[in-house]
Amino acid sequence: LPWQAALGCRAAQVLMQYCILANHYWFLVEAVYLYKLLIGAVFSEKNYYRLYLYLGWGTPVVFVVPWMAAKYLKENADQGGGAGLCVPLPCLPYQINLLIFMRILKVILAKLRANQKGYADYKLRLAKATLTLIPLFGIHEVVFIFATDEQTTGILRYIKVFFTLFLNSFQGFLVAVLYCFANKEVKSEMKKKWQLWKLDH
């Protein structure tokens, strides 16, 4: 039935907008969590797990529900004219992430400078830390947040679309490789498990 198809399309659109916003807010959760680990003395030992869940999964609802209401009212008012209504993408998570990113880099730089004798290549280590934090914090989004689709044309638009789609699509994979599979402790545990499995078989 046509009304069922229309309802399915609307539900899919709402779900898509919710997932996009949830992705942006989970960037913020990752940044806050890492900041808490590095600057642990500032925070109490209280478990923030529930707060992270509310921030990552709950905050997008604050934006999607009013958008749904506005879209519904606009479509009823001008019979389908609300199709172009977009969810306002909040800049707040990116601004906070950028501040946390700079604070963490400052801490890393201070630690590397303090151990400069032990780390002769501290500038290379800092560059590596910076590059590995970019996909975790979604800093690439900050670069393109001011370059809207209306402002970018020609080759610049293709570059923006390529980087946005590539980094958004592979963000989870990049984080897993950089923070899990490239981790010495994880590799050591995997090696132990592999050796145990070989002994059993």
Q: Taking the domains of the chain in order of start, what are their residue ranges? A: 1-77, 116-200
Q: Give CA–CA dist 137/163, Å, rounded.
A: 15
The tokens for 156 are 């610049």
pTM over the 0.75 mark: no
pLDDT at 58 (0 to 100): 92
DSSP string, 101-155: HHHHHHHHHHHHHHTTTT-TTHHHHHHHHHHHHHHHHTHHHHHHHSS-TTT--HH
pLDDT at 110 (0 to 100): 79
**Structure-model confidence comparison of residues 126 and 200, the more confident one:** 200
- What would the pLDDT profile of 115-171 be if each residue is shown by its tens digit? 765 555 666 666 777 777 777 777 767 666 666 666 677 787 788 778 777 777 777
Amino acid residing at 187: K
Residues of 119-147 as b/e, b for ≥16 C-beta within 10 angstroms? eeebeebbeeeeeebbbbbbbbbbeeeee
pLDDT at 84 (0 to 100): 53
pLDDT at 118 (0 to 100): 56
Dihedral angle sign, alpha carbons of residues 17, 23, 26, 31: negative
Find tokens 């590059």 and name the residue. Answer: 131
Q: Give CA–CA dist 147/181, Å, rounded.
A: 34
Checking if the pLDDT of 2 tops 70, the result is no
Residue 112 CA to its chain's centroid (Å): 26
pLDDT at 79 (0 to 100): 55
pLDDT at 127 (0 to 100): 72
Find tokens 């590799």 and name the residue. Answer: 187
3-state secondary structure of 30: helix
- What would the pLDDT profile of 3-53 be if each residue is shown by its tens digit? 667 778 888 888 888 888 888 888 888 888 888 877 765 455 566 888 889
